[in-house]
Structure 1
Amino acid sequence: MRVLHAVTLHTPDNAFGGPTQVAVNLSKGLRSRGVDARIATLGDGYDGPLPRDIEGVPAWLHQARHVLPRFEVSGITSPALLARARRLVKGADVVHVHLMRDLITLPFALIAQQAGVPVVLQTHGMIDTTEKQVARIVDMLGLKRALRKADGVLYLTEVERDDIQAVIPDTPLPGAHRLVNGVPPQDRRPQRTDGPPTVVFMARVQERKRPEEFIRAIPLVRKEHPDARFILAGPDTGALAGPMMELARELGVGDAVSYVGSVARDEVTDFLRTADVYVLPATYEPFPVSVLESMSVGVPVVVTRFCGQAPDIAEYGAGVVTESDPDRSVDNTALVADGILRLLEPAANERASQAAWQLVQDRFTIDAVVQDLIGVYERVAGQPA
């Protein structure tokens, strides 16, 4: 079976984050099972020629053109890639589109449907109802049609399914199927017995991820662990890394935190193994891969109840789920700090580490996710993979 994954953007520092990494992880898993999976996407931020593969997955990358800069990633496209799109989709048995309201994935979905190729849409929590006028126009011009004509719609949580359904309330979601994110299984990191405690935030540094709460929690944690180290990691897509480091200095903890920028994909698990606790106090995260990657090596996590894995984390005891308020009507900093402090207690950290690792082994390995996805492909294509 030939499968084409269409996703918006790939950059050297993985600035677009989750959707691209999910497409890559799925494609790698599919190829290991004999499925000819390839990727079509935009490339940006490269000094030289665009690569012909992403982590070993054959890929068609075309240079991103920022035609509507005010819309950031939603406003980039490539006339050359779109001109090639019909030929690419007709060479596939299934087109898997990582859909958002943009100028690449939505056209790919519509072109594939017009060509009569089975289309599976995966929205990664990026499609819901909105009052934004431009988004509503996009919905009328093509998004609703793409959803209605899809052969399968993949969602991460029931909340996401309801959000997608609300966009086309008059039509049941076609072939709706829950597909979680998965990561390769890893060895659990050994219990840390020496060195200062290390707490990591690894995600795009932008407002929605709430790096400020991570920084503001540091003085509270340092009262009990004065030698604790804090690492802020990830692409600075919100231009907040500088202000966050300045905030740390204002709080008197500038010496305790460092910003290391993006972590190379092949170094992520080794980087996470150095941590005692991973923190992501984001307002809404459908199913963050970084949380799975942390737990896959046995690093317990502090997340909010708005994280897609929060129920699983709470069930297994794989970390701390806070009741953070998305409207900021209460101070969430103390909740984040309390979660970190609870997980820095050695016995609690070891229990949560084992639970985090076991949770990924039981529910979120890429092998199990790929096997589930192959069943979806076989259903929509009417042929075995």
Structure 2
Amino acid sequence: MRTHLKNDIPKFDIVHSHSLYLFHSLVTGHYCRKHGVPYIVRPHGTLDPFMYKRHRLRKMVMELLFENKNIKEAAALHYTAAEEMTLAEPVTFNAPGFVVPNGLNVSEYDHLPKNGTFRKKYPELNGKKIILFFSRINFKKGLDILIGAFDLVQQQHQDAVLVITGPDNEGFGDKVREWIGERNLTDKVIFTGMLTGEDKLAVLRDADVFALPSYSENFGIAVVEAMACGVPVVISDKINIWREVESNRAGKVSSCDHVQFAKEINALLANEELRSIIGNNAQHMVRDYYQWDKIGMALEREYTNILRTRERRPQSFKVRGDASV
């Protein structure tokens, strides 16, 4: 990687580097500065206070060696939500920044599987309401909050089932199953593992409520996927698109508190009309905010603005897959 970056970076007019505290950010920043190539850093949520505090000593060493310099001398920092930029401000040395969100190929969600396709694979879901967790099974995803909330939801909606869909790459699922067992909810929770393609669309199509009480989420692409399918979402106020979701009435927002989270889920389960309204709002929001063609043009404008401030010809820059590390 170092050899290729050393040779290739001088050939480009602008470089877009992703994430921090990794080898590539050390090398990319070094060679961009050496050859006078402006570079953009996208932190991917690493500067969120919740994540910034983790492994602080290890990160501090890397900051002193190279990462602080990378941030200070970046042409800009790229955030995917305004909230992410606000949260990162105390540790970015007043570096300039811009917001361009993640996106979806919205057309992939235009033709969803037939209603009930997912339910047919799990007969125990017959006549039940599905609360869907659709994300990595990971410490930061708030599954402790969700299990506590689901326990309370059961008191009002005994027909509710929690479906947990997503990969368990770190063995965190064992802890989640322990929490479920402690609350005697084992027969009310289904683990599907990771689903892709038509299976992914089928579970999103059949969900009554999508729930993600993350402690930290710089964007939340799973939330947007659920919204694209018209699923009403309940998310925490630590998912950085929560303000956009709330202002567009495209979902419910809760603090990272299991009682409040249960309250929001119960409100949706009890009102089918409200679920329909919020689901429709969510689909409109995805088309307005998160289509790749719009996002691509917005990002191109940011590249051009940076090059113009460097008195370089904006038409000359090359956008290639290997320019983004």
TM-score (norm 1): 0.69
Secondary structure of the residue aligned to 1:271 is: helix
Secondary structure of the residue aligned to 1:229 is: strand
User: CA offsets per residue over residues 252-309 of structure 1, 9 Å max, x none?
Assistant: 2211212222233675434322211111111122211111111111111111122211
User: CA offsets per residue over residues 354-385 of structure 1, 9 Å max, x none?
Assistant: 11111111222222111100111223343236
Bigger relative contact order, structure 1 or 2, given CA contacts below 8 A and separation 6+? Answer: 2
Aligned in 2, Cα 1:249/1:162: closer, same or farther, shift over 3 Å? Answer: closer
Instruction: Give the drift of 1:349.
Output: 0.8
Secondary structure of the residue aligned to 1:96 is: strand
Aligned in 2, Cα 1:271/1:288: closer, same or farther, shift over 3 Å? Answer: same
Q: Which one-letter code corresponds to 1:144 in the other structure?
A: N
Select 2:235's aligned residue among 276, 280, 303.
303
| Counterpart Cα distance in 1 of 2:296 and 2:243 | 22
Select 1:177's aligned residue among 81, 98, 108.
98
Select 2:263's aligned residue among 338, 353, 361.
338
User: CA offsets per residue over residues 84-104 of structure 1, 9 Å max, x none?
Assistant: 222243443432111211222
Select 2:110's aligned residue among 180, 187, 191.
187
User: CA offsets per residue over residues 324-380 of structure 1, 9 Å max, x none?
Assistant: 3xxxxxxx2222222212122211111111111111112222221111001112233
Secondary structure of the residue aligned to 1:181 is: coil
Q: How does 1:66-145 map to 2 (within 5 A)?
A: 81-127=1-47, 132-145=56-69
1:39 paired residue number: none
Aligned in 2, Cα 1:265/1:195: closer, same or farther, shift over 3 Å? Answer: same
| Counterpart Cα distance in 2 of 1:305 and 1:168 | 22
More strand by share: 1
| Counterpart Cα distance in 1 of 2:241 and 2:114 | 24
More helix by share: 2
Q: How does 1:350-361 map to 2 (within 5 A)?
A: 350-361=276-287
Instruction: Give the drift of 1:218.
Output: 2.4
Instruction: Give the drift of 1:190.
Output: 9.5
Deviates more, 1:262-271 or 1:334-343: 262-271
Aligned length: 295
1:220 paired residue number: 152
Pairing 1:376–2:302 present: yes
Aligned in 2, Cα 1:184/1:135: closer, same or farther, shift over 3 Å? Answer: same
| Counterpart Cα distance in 1 of 2:234 and 2:74 | 36
| Counterpart Cα distance in 1 of 2:189 and 2:28 | 43
Q: How does 1:247-258 map to 2 (within 5 A)?
A: 247-258=179-190
| Counterpart Cα distance in 1 of 2:266 and 2:186 | 19
Aligned in 2, Cα 1:99/1:145: closer, same or farther, shift over 3 Å? Answer: same
User: CA offsets per residue over residues 196-216 of structure 1, 9 Å max, x none?
Assistant: 211111222222211122222
Unmatched segments (≥5 aa) in structure 1: 1-80, 325-331
Counterpart contact for 1:106–1:143, Cα < 8 Å: yes
Aligned in 2, Cα 1:357/1:230: closer, same or farther, shift over 3 Å? Answer: same
Aligned in 2, Cα 1:177/1:262: closer, same or farther, shift over 3 Å? Answer: same
Counterpart contact for 1:101–1:127, Cα < 8 Å: no
Q: How does 1:261-276 map to 2 (within 5 A)?
A: 261-264=193-196, 267-276=199-208
Percent identity, aligned pairs only, is 24
| Counterpart Cα distance in 1 of 2:26 and 2:253 | 35
